[in-house]
Structure 1
Amino acid sequence: MYEKYDPTRLPDTPFLFFTGKGGVGKTSTACATAVSLADQGKTVLLVSTDPASNLQDVFEEELTNEWKFLKALPRLAVANLDPEEAAKEHRENTIGPYRGQLPDSLIASMEEQMSGACTTEIAAFDSFTTFLSDEQLLKQFDHILFDTAPTGHTLRLLQLPQAWSGFMEENPNGASCLGPMSSLAGKKHAYEQAMDSLNDGRKSILFLVSRPEESALYEADRSSKELVELGIKNQRLIINGLISQSVLDGDEISIAFRKNQQMALQQLSSHLEELETYKLPFAPLSLTGIESLRQWLSSDFYEGNVEENIDVPDVSNVEQVVDDFAQKGKGLIFTMGKGGVGKTTVASSIALGLVKKGYRVRLTTTDPADHLSRIFSETKNERLHVSHIDPKIETERYKDQVFAESGKTLNEEEMTYLKEDLDSPCTEEIAVFRAFADVVEHSEEDYIVIDTAPTGHTLLLLDAVQSYHKEIKRSSGEVPDSVKKLLPTLQDENYTHMCIVTLPEATPVFEAERLEADLKRASLHPSWWIMNQCLSATYTEDPMLKAKAYSEHQWIERVNKRTEQVAVLPWQKNSFSIHHFD
């Protein structure tokens, strides 16, 4: 179907970027590419800005943010940049000059403004701008590879003219995503050089890495279109983890697994179909060591060999999760996690379980795709109310309100900045939060189950607006009573229950751990961790899938050690299948 990915046939392009949603195999693909190029006699530098990077494990050497040549492969140099540390330094460079000059409450607000993902993204881009513009590095290396490319959102921020204006210096507490940029004014030329390199197809190729799964391909499609709008058109698509179409024998699980992959690829968007596309084979075990990376690229089949029986750890199942919530009699239930981990199906399963116990349940999603309508299209139950909050509609409504309230007091330059400031993910999060605050206030059901909850950063940002808005020159709009009431309600562990949904793999677990830390900053403590789509709970006998199931154990055990309430949900044939109850 697709040509196999072969780095020996890559054009002589100095910059190679690898991007994609968490857990699709960006790091493995970037590392294997770097090894192959070095084996061809090229001098290569690999730079990672992934917060969940495991380059030390892959290359089996200690690595830092200073690049060094590997002992096992002297032509390959590696730098493992820590975006969290970069964000911390970036935050202090921005806020430090104002300490002692502004009220403590305003400093606290500024710190929260810069604690979100935007700051990490900007700081990461700032870190690797050096690698894109350093002429000495370009003379020393034939290729520079980046594991985790900048998102379209980050690049769009860098193109906003007001972000570089003197207005930032006069308003350092600007509300959402522009605040992180306020210390970068002196680097505009270097950023313009970096953007020129990204947009130049003779200098850069951007690889979108995906798995043959609907959610991963949807994210690849969205990212690709966003980057094309910014002028980054030299893109390739790599489908990672593809099992040969001809291998259809095996047990029920293995056959369904292969069919799911083929169905996802058959639904590939017309936009992605236009991209030059390659495939990489399914690798059930961790790709550690240079030899394993070479084998992965050279073999059509990466064989796993696990002979011992796989025992599922002694953890709960979805029925026990529902029983735990049902004992409360009423409450708010949130499913949280990164895209593609199965929040929607977990939320649907919990809601249906509570309905079957006789409770009235409102199930609400903020997912633009609104998969709930698809899941419950034929379900008729007077105790279940399914609704959808459209982020785009709510964001536009919120913007209109802010413009109406702020337009009376801001001048033209300030209004221009405000418009740019509101074009940020933080704005959407706040707008959506306000919308489901209204849902909670006006619902009459026993339970409200919300698919995709606000992050701890969003809650603290709202709290900052509520507490300090009189001191913030640029108004973020009046905080409705429904929001004021909901903020303390979410911190009531007897009424509000948060479920962190993840997959039994390295990157999703690391991302979930960061989400938990984010929530704890807002005094929110998850009730359950739910490990979704676990092959180890299916008892498959397929050699490759059994090897994959075996590799899940370390992640299930890692989560099991950090929290008392863990549930394991088996891999489902249909990614939108509800876990049914007897």
Structure 2
Amino acid sequence: MATKFPEPEDTDEYPPTLQNVVEQNSLKWIFVGGKGGVGKTTCSCSLALLLARVRPSVLLISTDPAHNISDAFDQKFTKYPTKVKGYDNLSAMEIDPELVDPDKIVNEDLDDSDSGIKGLAKEILEELAGSVPGIDEAKSFVEVISLVKEMDFSVVIFDTAPTGHTLRFLSMPNLFIKGMEKLKKVKGQFGSLFTQLLPMLGINSKEEGSSLMGQLQHSAPTVKQINDEFQDPDKTTFVCICIPEFLSLYETERLVQELAKLNIDVHNIVVNQLLRPEKNSEGTIKCTMCAARHKIQSKYLDQIYDLYDDFHIVECPLLQEEVRGVEKVKQFSQYLLGGSTN
């Protein structure tokens, strides 16, 4: 079982550990994300191993096109759940939710004129583009989430792509719901004209349009349920991973602010790749470059503590070797429980 940490006497203090995530049995969805190259995959795999100790079934999903969980566990994973070697209750999979830019549903060949049927069509399509996710994007999201829900794991961990892609994925339920409302409204207002506009949306026939609308409407209850669960702190949380550098700190603040707008819980930050240089008998750091890097990291680490004084902030060290293979990941996971970085 995972190490138990005592609750702090002062309720304003937040232990430097992800034990709060491991012990929150109500969590269904856990997202691990941040800027590229900060160690998201190592942390998500480590968290998956910790959860496998206390949950009956755990699924780790990579939604990053540059899949790395196969490298982390030194085991090949595909778009189908595969058990991690040595674990009966931990599976992993790699998927590519091909998210499409919603602006692409606007036909670029439309007449620039704002008069006549083409002008009206362009106006409607531009309005749709601002409020409706791409058709392929919506279908992809629904398929991914529906598949995961059908598999019925007790907790699902997402090893996410860099920030922009991840925020788009997390906003999909709300965009989907608003998009369906907009489509219904436009269809009701313009009737047969809407049918004529379908080819401009990439839909080749009335039958195909009716079929697609039926599929989307059928999926609407599932998407609404997911949207509610994503906004429920008892069901969903986001763990931010960063390193003590300016760009990473800037990206983390952007991520935290955007998650707040989406009403998604976030109260854990892992500060990874911290340098802990050796010191001589006089207490001076031996390596000049190490001393300089340590000074820079210390500055940004202080800023992280100032910005997120009501977060659990976990410090993880920069290691001399790669974290690859189950045993290495298992060793690294102890840092997420507050293991010493010294």
The TM-score, its normalising length taken from structure 1, stands at: 0.41
Please state how far the C-alpha of 1:276 moved relative to its aligned partner: 2.4
Please state how far the C-alpha of 1:33 moved relative to its aligned partner: 0.9
Which sections of structure 2, spanning at least 5 residues, go unmatched? 1-13, 111-124, 188-193, 202-211
Match of 2:174 among 159, 176, 188: 159
How do 1:121-200 residues align onto structure 2 when only pairs under 5 Å count?
A: 125-130=141-146, 134=149, 136-138=150-152, 141-148=153-160, 151-156=166-171, 158-160=173-175, 163-164=179-180, 165-166=182-183, 167=186, 170=197, 173=200, 185-186=216-217, 187-200=219-232
Matched-pair contact (CA < 8 Å) for 2:274–2:315: yes
2:122 maps to none
Please state how far the C-alpha of 1:216 moved relative to its aligned partner: 0.9
Amino acid in structure 1 at the alignment position of 2:286: G
Which sections of structure 1, spanning at least 5 residues, go unmatched? 96-101, 175-181, 304-582
Please state how far the C-alpha of 1:243 moved relative to its aligned partner: 3.0
Amino acid in structure 1 at the alignment position of 2:264: I
What does the per-residue CA deviation read over 1:92-124, in whole Å, with 9 as the maximum and x for residues that have no partner? xx98xxxxxx9x967xxx9xxx9xxx8697676
1:55 maps to 69
Matched-pair contact (CA < 8 Å) for 2:84–2:92: yes
Please state how far the C-alpha of 1:291 moved relative to its aligned partner: 0.3
Please state how far the C-alpha of 1:262 moved relative to its aligned partner: 0.8
Please state how far the C-alpha of 1:191 moved relative to its aligned partner: 1.8
Please state how far the C-alpha of 1:223 moved relative to its aligned partner: 1.2
Matched-pair contact (CA < 8 Å) for 1:7–1:36: no
Q: Distance in 2 between matches of 1:131 and 1:211?
A: 33
Structure 2 residue 291 is the aligned partner of structure 1 residue 255:
yes
Please state how far the C-alpha of 1:172 moved relative to its aligned partner: 6.6
Structure 1 pair 260–123 and aligned structure 2 pair: CA distance change class (3 A): farther
Please state how far the C-alpha of 1:197 moved relative to its aligned partner: 0.9
Q: Distance in 2 between matches of 1:188 and 1:173?
A: 23
2:312 maps to 276
What SS does the corresponding residue of 1:16 show, helix, strand or coil?
A: strand
2:16 maps to 3
Please state how far the C-alpha of 1:163 moved relative to its aligned partner: 2.2
Q: Distance in 2 between matches of 1:162 and 1:298?
A: 42
Match of 1:65 among 79, 89, 100: 79
Structure 1 pair 201–61 and aligned structure 2 pair: CA distance change class (3 A): same
Q: Distance in 2 between matches of 1:148 and 1:157?
A: 14
Amino acid in structure 2 at the alignment position of 1:163: G
Structure 1 pair 15–207 and aligned structure 2 pair: CA distance change class (3 A): same
How do 1:327-406 residues align onto structure 2 when only pairs under 5 Å count?
A: none
Relative contact order (alpha carbons < 8 A, sep ≥ 6): 1 or 2 greater?
A: 2
1:460 maps to none
Structure 1 pair 40–156 and aligned structure 2 pair: CA distance change class (3 A): closer
Matched-pair contact (CA < 8 Å) for 1:296–1:302: no
Please state how far the C-alpha of 1:145 moved relative to its aligned partner: 1.0
Please state how far the C-alpha of 1:298 moved relative to its aligned partner: 3.0
Q: Distance in 2 between matches of 1:229 and 1:37?
A: 28
Structure 1 pair 9–162 and aligned structure 2 pair: CA distance change class (3 A): closer
Please state how far the C-alpha of 1:233 moved relative to its aligned partner: 2.8
What SS does the corresponding residue of 1:209 show, helix, strand or coil?
A: strand
What does the per-residue CA deviation read over 1:46-76, in whole Å, with 9 as the maximum and x for residues that have no partner? 1111111112212222211111222332221
RMSD: 3.9
What SS does the corresponding residue of 1:255 show, helix, strand or coil?
A: helix
What does the per-residue CA deviation read over 1:219-272, in whole Å, with 9 as the maximum and x for residues that have no partner? 111111111122113432111222348866121111111111111122238553
The percentage of counterpart residues that share the same residue type is 25
Structure 2 residue 301 is the aligned partner of structure 1 residue 265:
yes
1:208 maps to 240
Q: Distance in 2 between matches of 1:76 and 1:252?
A: 44
